[in-house]
Amino acid sequence: MPAESLTIAARPNWRWRPLADVLRPHALVTGAAQGIGRAVAERLAVLGWHVIAADRDSEALGWASGRDDVTATMLDITDAKAVARVLDAFPGPDIVVNCAGIAAQLLPLKQIDRRAFEQMLRINTGGTLVVAREAARRMQGGAIINIASRGYLGGAGAAHYVVSKAAVVGMTRAMAVELRWRGISVNAVAPGMVETRMIADFTPQMRERLTSLEPSGAALSPDVIAEAVAYLASPAGRSLNGQVLLVDGGKSLGVFPC
């Protein structure tokens, strides 16, 4: 067989790994150092995936060290070449979960300048598109799951965050239309308030006010979001396409005490 016909030739960063490991389906999870991303990575690993846990903060990926079902890798999702390098080092991927993103400080619109809009869009929206694009170029079926936010429906006090997540939802629908013929489903999960470092940074007063608006009176566990992602990654879940799974305890219905 001529060398150029080997698939491995297209994977310049391929690393030799045990056959059993290579044969497992691979899932790329971005933003996997903590919060929802980490919960998703751990859940998929438990379900038998080999998880490529990627994050900009490589030190915070320490939880994955020593595990043979998770490979931790540093990744800036806005760097297309870096994303390509990571993807080329592994088989697949079969599943991509776009968790990486930044949260917004709650700010009135008048205090959000052009740069803040750009930064939020470049990371939350642009980063999601870059990872999806690079993955789609390599995937032969599977699923892309984008983590949006209940905020995509609109919310006062964080317009730059809302616009970035609403754009993710729109892109999800377009990708779903475009990629389905290649056996790739694309869906979004829109979590409500989740117990992550993002909200841990709020003042106690702000935290109390926000949790009091939740239907259950508490923030959701990241594990709940991970379960929703695991469903969308499952064979049954892949029959969904272009959907936004609101995982917010019903807050989006808008009729709870506020």
Partner 1 sequence: MLTVIAAPESLTATIGTAVHDLCGAGLADPAALVDAMPHTARAGLAALGDDDLEAGLIQPLAALGETLSGLVPGHRRIVLIGTTEGLGHWDASLAAGFAAGATGLMRSVALEFMREGVTVNMVALDPTDDRRAMAAAHLAAALLQTDGVSGQVIACDGGNNLRMVQARQRA
147 pairs with which residues across the strands? 189
* Shortest Å, Cβ 193 to partner 1: 17
Give me the amino acid identity at 59: E
Give the long-range contacts of residues 12-16, CB within 8 A, separation 24 or more: 12/88, 13/85, 13/86, 13/88, 13/89, 14/88, 14/89, 15/89
- The pair of structure tokens assigned to 26 is 């691979």
Backbone phi and psi for residue 69, each to the nearest 5 degrees, phi listed first:
-100, 0
Question: Toward partner 1, which CB reaches closer, 109 or 213?
Answer: 109
Cα(122)–Cα(142) distance, integer angstroms? 26
Looking at the Cβ atoms of 129 and 210, the one nearer to partner 1 is 129
Residues binding partner 1 (CB under 8 A): 80, 108-110, 112-114, 117-118, 121-122, 125-126, 129-130, 132-133, 136-137, 151-160, 162-179, 181, 242
For partner 1, which is the closer residue by CB, 99 or 112? 112
Query: Least distance (Å) from partner 1 to the CB of residue 144?
Result: 10
Pick between residue 46 and residue 177 the one whose CB is nearest to partner 1.
177
Six-digit token pair at 221?
């566990």
Q: Which DSSP category does 103 fall into?
A: P
- Amino acid of residue 164: S
Smallest distance from the beta carbon of 167 to partner 1, in angstroms?
3
Minimum distance from residue 245 beta carbon to partner 1 (Å)? 16
152 noted as active-site residue: no
Of 179, 190, 122, residue with least CA distance to 151: 190
Cβ proximity to partner 1: between 25 and 157 the closer is 157
Give me the catalytic one of 34, 161, 169, 214.
Answer: 161
**Which residues are CB-neighbours of 64 under 8 A, at least 6 positions away?**
32, 41, 51, 53, 70, 71, 72
Active site residues: 161
